[in-house]
Amino acid sequence: MATIFSHPAIALGLSPWFRDVRNHKKILVTGAILTIVPDLDVIGLYAGIPYQHMLGHRGLSHSLFFAAFIAVLITWLFSRRLEIKASAVWLYLFVSMASHGALDALTNGGLGTAFFSPLSNERYFFAFRPIEVSTLNIRYFFESQGAVVLASEIVTIWPICLTILVAGYFWHKGRADQPIRG
């Protein structure tokens, strides 16, 4: 898995591309939190749920279905309070949360991601896997493995997120400067 230090970079990088969302800090923070939520499934390991089980690590909580479902629920809560397009909120939250499984599929370890759970528990990796997998053991991470994992994330995830962020900023800035044709 990628670390909780890098997953939220996706939500930050996406923010300029969602004009209706970027001015709502609560939605942006929620998007960042949703990039981490799928890893709460590690609690199941301590409850005896095997890693390879649908409810195990990188199972249902990492699926596209789960991301869509959670995005619907949270969008419904936000749309009741904010005057904002629900479709923009949903898409931002969905992509933010779904990015978690995608980053995990770019790692060099584990069992892969069950993108299509609950319909299928088959686990997938992408062909290109440049991210060093992180341990589930927090103590081991900070004692020895953390620096290697973070270094691989800094050179792979962060530059891409920064590029997406800057491109989105300049794309919308350029479009705002264009005269309106009527």
Predicted pLDDT of residue 182: 46
Residue 176 confidence (pLDDT): 62
Half-sphere exposure of 46 (CA within 13 A, CB side): 6
CA dihedral 134, 140, 146, 147 (to 10 degrees): -140
Name the amino acid, one letter, at 181: R
pLDDT of amino acid 1: 65
Give residue 175's pLDDT: 67
Q: What angle do CA 126, 130, 136 make, to 5 degrees?
A: 90
Q: In this structure, are residues 124 and 115 in contact, taking their beta carbons and an 8 Å threshold?
A: yes
- Residue 158 backbone zone (phi > 0: left; psi -120 to 50: alpha; other: beta): alpha
Each of the 182 residues of the chain gets a pLDDT tens digit; together they read 678 889 999 999 999 998 888 888 999 999 999 999 999 999 999 999 999 999 999 999 999 999 999 999 999 998 878 778 889 999 999 999 999 999 999 999 889 999 999 999 999 999 999 998 887 777 877 777 888 888 899 999 999 999 999 999 898 777 665 555 54
pTM for the model? 0.88
